[in-house]
Amino acid sequence: MFTGLVSDVGEVLAIEAGANLNHVRVACSYPVETMALGASIACGGPCLTVVARGEGGNRSWFEVDVAAETLARTTARHWKQGTRLNLERSLKIGDELGGHIVTGHIDAVAGIVAIEDFDGMRRIDIRAPHELARFIAEKGSVALDGTSLTVNSVEGDVFSVLLIPHTLKVTTWDERRVGDEINLEVDLMARYAARLFEAK
């Protein structure tokens, strides 16, 4: 489990592409001794398992395997050397839950349809897949590229979020452009509430 509070921005160092599995090395600032094999790290949203770790130069790195399902459902299929990723390590009991409960299980890829910059902030309009739009509510939470954000407005399948200067500084959101694809995870409680309603 995660909170959607990005703790580092990593960089893809190398990708070994297979038929149904990509092996990816990601540089980070986490001390290598604190990254256990088998630990979970959210990489741009998807929860991935550390299968190797090490140090090179002045940076730590970890490696993950990205399977076919993740490649099909997320932007991981577009990763290449140099791609920057929002990183978050898994939540520990006793940690502050500053964002919202995030699983790292991506529902779909959404698309940026408009960006407005003002006063050091950025408003982004995003089109969600139609079947997921019903889970997105004004003032509710959503995880985008692994970042916990509050929904400002909703019009049909399009919703907006507002990024403050701090978020733009410590994440990859300052790099986003109109037309970019982003990883979308809808709020877990909204999904369960909808399922309970349907069950009635």
Does residue 62 carry a catalytic annotation? no
Strand partners, 163: 122
What the block records as the tokens of 136 is 């997105």
Instruction: State the catalytic residue, choosing from 150, 153, 193, 194.
Output: 150
Does residue 100 carry a catalytic annotation? no
- Judge contact between 4 and 171, C-beta under 8 A: no
Q: Residue 44 in 3-state DSSP?
A: coil
Does residue 47 carry a catalytic annotation? yes
Instruction: State the catalytic residue, choosing from 47, 76, 110, 143.
Output: 47
Q: CB within 8 A of 177, min separation 6: which ones?
A: 112, 115
Does residue 105 carry a catalytic annotation? yes
- Start-end of H helices in 98-180: 130-133, 165-170
Instruction: State the catalytic residue, choosing from 29, 34, 49, 153.
Output: 49
Q: CB within 8 A of 148, min separation 6: which ones?
A: 3, 4, 5, 98, 99, 100, 102, 141, 142
Does residue 67 carry a catalytic annotation? yes
Residue 80's CB: how many other CB atoms inside 10 A? 8
Instruction: State the catalytic residue, choosing from 27, 28, 40, 143.
Output: 40
Instruction: State the catalytic residue, choosing from 23, 39, 105, 190.
Output: 105
Question: How far is the C-alpha of 77 from the C-alpha of 192, rounded, in Å?
Answer: 29
Enzyme catalytic residues: 2, 40, 47, 49, 67, 105, 150
